[in-house]
Amino acid sequence: MSLVERAAAAFSAAVAPENVEAAGGLVAGASRTTYATTQRPLLVVRPATTAEVQACVRIAGELGLAVYPSSGGRNWGYGARVPTTDGAVLLDLARMKRIVEYDPELAFVTVEAGVTQEQLRAFLAERGEALWIDPTTAPSDASVVGNLVERGHGYTPYADRAARAASLEVVLANGEVVETGYASFGTGLVSRLEAVGCGPSLDGLFLQSNLGIVTRATLHLMPAPERVAMVVAGIDEVEAVGPFVDAVRSLRLDGVFNGAAQLANVYRRLAYVPGIEATLTTRPVAVEEALAICAPHGIHRWNGLLSVYGRAKVVDAQVEVLTSTLRPLATTLKAFDVAQRDDIPPAWRGIAGLVAGRLPPGGVGVNRMYFRKPAGAERTSDPERDRCGFVWCPSAVPARGADALRVITLVERTLLAHGFEPDLALSYFRDRSIHAMASIVFDRDVPGEDERALACHDALAKELVALGCPPVRLGLHSMHLVPGGPSAELVETLRRALDPGRVIAPGRYERAR
């Protein structure tokens, strides 16, 4: 009996034969993403409970196999479900759909790894609770826990998801289960309320790592505010972005606004213009052409968004301070009550939905991945199948205007030099830093585009690190950026202790061996 046959038989005994696949659609889907890859899973195994995950990990250890966990497979631009190594067993956690615990008074929910954004939204809506999840631009069927463990972020005051989570349940490489925070004391009253318990905090060990498989997490929910306001700014001169960034940092440190903020360039907004593919005449699109296309839609060279949440009178006062401070720094500036959707410019309605805690069908960010597909090409909600090219290159930047301008210059120069539009947004959801979310959008059906896009990513990432702006998140294409040094050696020591057989996702957030 071959290794594949022995593995399939062992996993079938643990999760039932219908949840094990050695060939077919699941394996094919787990072998492709939005850029070129070579890894192919040996099997796809779909456990439905923590006990089944434990059994699968033990089987893999006994057979000398690696497992690669995936919660929903919608991690587009970072590698999605494709394992870090060839021949690994893809552990698909999408069947883990239970909402385990819910407390509307203390506003938290405990969910398994397969619970999606839409499932959680519907759960809350069915109960009529005035509680929000923090939505992301990912599709509505994306995993909430999957985004959390990658330290993803959204648009509301709860945008920093990792800071709004507690009590992780983790399966270790030996099959044992640990719970982080106060949960280690049992079912105490605060075990779901505080991320940091008594003693060393373990939660961070299992975010963006391969030290364990997170099968369950508690998320804190946001009470629906009385009012949500959105301030939209248009900036025509790149040099004006610096003073605007400095002003936003000062306003945030002063507590004038509590939501997320974003500054997106014309290329980020260009992809949302209806019928854009039929209007493009140059490649990459020149900024003058992009501005001409976008001008009728109220889109400027740079486009700012800030959101404020709370009691109506407080929000009104905060908006007054925001607008009076920022108006002299912008070409245009206007405030909107997010509840009045018809007043919001069409170009901003998708983002406005996220600001208001809503989940637009299909996700706000998916259409952007089709930007470089030719007019008339099929457009679905599956950019991997449709061979859309999409690669993220995100970095952390000090919230200073001078630093933001350096990053803008670097991103524009590098992507244009490689023949790609410099799609960039500066996202605020912390007080003193910005995440510069650069992305490379291309058509995988064009010969050579995969190679050019990955070369462009590496060139940009290298220069950003040299500038002092390290990556905030790594994908399958960028794990080689993990640095060495004492910190990496400490993580490797922990890995050897927790997973001496290198069972869980070898190569994920670790230096190449």
- pLDDT tens digits along 53-80: 999 999 999 999 999 999 988 888 898 8
pLDDT: which is higher, 90 or 364: 90
What strands, in cross-sheet order, belong to the sheet with 433-443?
332-337, 227-235, 302-310, 261-265, 423-428, 433-443, 388-398
Residue pLDDT, tens place only, 85-99: 999 999 999 999 999
* Cis geometry, peptide bond prior to residue 296 (ω within 30 degrees of 0): no
pLDDT of residue 260: 83
Confidence band for 408, pLDDT divided at 50, 70 and 90: very high
pLDDT of residue 187: 67
Backbone φ and ψ of 474, nearest 5°: -115, 150
Return the H-helix or E-strand segment holding 263: strand 261-265
Instruction: Provide the percentage of residues in the chain whose pLDDT is more than 70.
Output: 97
pLDDT of residue 321: 96
Distance from the first to the final alpha carbon of the chain: 31
Residues in the chain: 513
Closest to 302 in 3D by CA, of 289, 287, 283? 287
Residue pLDDT, tens place only, 502-511: 999 999 998 7
- CA 304 to CA 63: how far, in whole Å? 53
For residues 404-416, average pLDDT:
97
Q: Which amino acid is at 136?
A: T
Return the H-helix or E-strand segment holding 247: helix 241-253
For residues 202-227, average pLDDT:
94
pLDDT of residue 362: 66
pLDDT: which is higher, 36 or 72: 36
- What pTM did the predictor assign? 0.93
Whether the predicted pLDDT of 188 surpasses 80? no
- CA 347 to CA 272: how far, in whole Å? 7
Residue pLDDT, tens place only, 116-129: 999 999 999 998 87
**Biggest CA pair distance of the chain:** 74
Residue 99: partners with Cβ closer than 8 Å, 6 or more residues away: 109, 110, 111, 112, 115, 119, 120, 123
Classify residue 21 by burial, with Cβ atoms within 10 Å: 0-12, 13-18, 19+. buried
Computed over every residue of the chain, the mean pLDDT equals 91
- CA 90 to CA 106: how far, in whole Å? 36
pLDDT of residue 199: 85
Residue pLDDT, tens place only, 333-345: 999 998 877 778 7
For residues 386-401, average pLDDT:
96
For residues 139-144, average pLDDT:
88
Q: Which amino acid is at 269?
A: R
pLDDT of residue 198: 83
Closest to 264 in 3D by CA, of 406, 418, 439, 52? 439
Classify residue 451 by burial, with Cβ atoms within 10 Å: 0-12, 13-18, 19+. exposed
For residues 102-110, average pLDDT:
95
Decide: 457 and 444 in contact? Cβ < 8 Å: no
Whether the predicted pLDDT of 459 surpasses 90? yes
How many other C-beta atoms are found inside a 10 Å radius of the C-beta of residue 46? 22
Whether the predicted pLDDT of 513 surpasses 70? no
For residues 146-167, average pLDDT:
90
Decide: 167 and 201 in contact? Cβ < 8 Å: no
Confidence band for 243, pLDDT divided at 50, 70 and 90: very high
pLDDT of residue 277: 66
